[in-house]
Structure 1
Amino acid sequence: MDDHQRKKHVSGAPWRNFYGRIKGKGLHQSHERYLEEDLDKLAPKNVSWKENPDRNPLNLSELFGNDNPVWLEVGFGGGEHLVHQAQQNPDVNIIGCEPYINGVATLLGKIRKAGVTNLSVHPGDARDMMDVLPEGSIEKAFLLYPDPWPKARHHRRRFVTPEHLDPLAKCLKAGSVFRVATDIEDYVRQTLEQVPTRDDFEWLAESPTDWRNAWPDWYSTRYEQKALREGRTPHYLTFRKL
């Protein structure tokens, strides 16, 4: 298998396939330094199966040093939106998950520059993080420009499937919001087939403007800018946990 391979199995862990890149071409020296100097301080402990085989819930108050609301961003890419939200919401704690180490390194540089202290960074599979998030602990979640997996035979790899939505629903607080942004129309189709048809989510759209217009606190990422340059239309879907 190549980089689109299944994770190395740990005794007792469920067998989970992982698809996508974990590391790209060589990192800049500055990015290597960020990973060496900053990641350990920002990464929550006891997330991996090796560290926490019993999947004991994380103590979020201990992780952040306060009892502020906690948000979750799945697949933060280069971290632009994550840092923006942290700056705009200093009384909120945000956990970002991203397995692509180049993106993690880029985020760490942005965190240094912005000086935000209300972020925690999980450099790995969001499923492992959701395993150990306490039930009902997340007050807002973001899935922004996820990997589209355009081929029909790969649609089961998309995040908007029960394999991911079940644990997400469990860790979301009742009344919390789940935001999905994508420029791929077929991803919109699958999202609307999967999420609001469950008995634990509802789609908060009353008119086309609710999914055509970005959220008031939106920060347009590099992925969105690329989509706009290439003539694709962003969609902004908002769901509420019931």
Structure 2
Amino acid sequence: MPIAQQPHGHLRSFGRIQARPLKPRQAALFDTLLPSIAVPEGAFDPRALAPEAKEVWLEIGFGGGEHMAGQAARNPQALVIGAEPFVNGVGSALRHVEEQGLKNVRLHHGDVRDIVAGLPDASLDRVFIMFPDPWQKARHHKRRLIQDDFLAELARVMKPGARLRFATDWANYADWALEKILACGAFAWPAERADDWRVPPADHLTTRYEEKKLGDCAPVFLDFVRA
């Protein structure tokens, strides 16, 4: 099987899977903590994972988990589901969950499209896509997460009025995402002035990745509403 091709037929929208060996503590959490907070395989109702939750949020590609954990800590009323294929990122997130004693986080170690495919219609209240792999070269744009078919699936699982935040520090990807998401027809973009996408939203949590400034522009924050 080609390395860029996944079993479900989609081109892989992420790069490396592991950069270095896991630290012993993180490796242990894969065996002790992850099984108890892992998202079930196949179709599932997120409300069954946390019946007391008033909202269900999804973070796509949570990186090291700082943003996801921070949002979960600030919003105990929400069940926060995170998906990340990068082994070291999952290990880092597990550490954050354990250290902060978070009870409202569930994780998927793998492609988020597997989760979205298993979700019921109109089951999510909020979605974060924070600094996804930009695949800068034009020939690699087909590997970007933001594609027509994925947006259609995302719209299916988001409630009317649910919020979607897309953030990137690559200018071309910001333009690409804005065009694709608006063309989808399922999302409204209520921005009225430049500060609405240039200034970090009030509830934004800066991550280590963001601080590295690896992109070609200042971070762009695009907040949409499911129509």
What interval of TM-score do these two structures reach, taking the shorter chain for normalisation?
A: over 0.9
C-alpha distance in structure 2 between counterparts of 1:182 and 1:28, whole Å:
29
Q: Which residue of 2 aligns with 1:216?
A: 202
Q: Which residue of 2 aligns with 1:105?
A: 91
Q: Which SS does the other structure have where 1:149 is aligned?
A: coil
The partner residue of 1:69 within 55, 61, 78 is: 55
Q: Which residue of 2 aligns with 1:15?
A: 9
Contact 2:53 2:77 in 1 (8 A): no
The partner residue of 1:235 within 192, 217, 220 is: 220
Letter in 1 for 2:217: R
Shift of residue 16, structure 1, vs aligned partner: 2.4
Q: Which residue of 2 aligns with 1:50?
A: none
Q: Deviations over 1:158-190 (max 9, x none)?
A: 121113211111100011110011110000110
Shift of residue 149, structure 1, vs aligned partner: 0.2
Q: Which residue of 1 aligns with 2:116?
A: 130
Q: CA RMSD in A?
A: 1.6
User: Equivalences for 1:1-242 in 2 at 5 Å?
Assistant: 4-7=3-6, 9=7, 14-18=8-12, 19-47=14-42, 57-227=43-213, 232-242=217-227
Letter in 2 for 1:106: S
Q: Which SS does the other structure have where 1:112 is aligned?
A: helix
Query: What TM-score comes out, normalization by structure 1 length?
Result: 0.89
Letter in 1 for 2:146: V
C-alpha distance in structure 1 between counterparts of 2:186 and 2:68, whole Å:
26
Contact 1:44 1:120 in 2 (8 A): yes
* RCO higher in structure (CA 8 A, sep ≥6): 2
C-alpha distance in structure 2 between counterparts of 1:185 and 1:70, whole Å:
30
Structure 1, unpaired ranges of 5+: 48-56
C-alpha distance in structure 2 between counterparts of 1:201 and 1:119, whole Å:
26
Q: Which SS does the other structure have where 1:176 is aligned?
A: strand
Aligned residues: 226
Letter in 2 for 1:216: A
C-alpha distance in structure 2 between counterparts of 1:215 and 1:100, whole Å:
26
Q: Which SS does the other structure have where 1:217 is aligned?
A: coil
Contact 2:131 2:167 in 1 (8 A): yes
C-alpha distance in structure 1 between counterparts of 2:90 and 2:70, whole Å:
15
C-alpha distance in structure 1 between counterparts of 2:91 and 2:41, whole Å:
21
Q: Which SS does the other structure have where 1:196 is aligned?
A: helix
Contact 2:170 2:216 in 1 (8 A): no
C-alpha distance in structure 1 between counterparts of 2:91 and 2:131, whole Å:
19
Q: Deviations over 1:110-137 (max 9, x none)?
A: 1111111001001110100000111001
Shift of residue 231, structure 1, vs aligned partner: 7.1
- Tell me which moved more, 197-206 or 97-106: 197-206
Letter in 1 for 2:69: V
C-alpha distance in structure 2 between counterparts of 1:239 and 1:115, whole Å:
31
Contact 1:196 1:239 in 2 (8 A): no
C-alpha distance in structure 1 between counterparts of 2:193 and 2:36, whole Å:
44
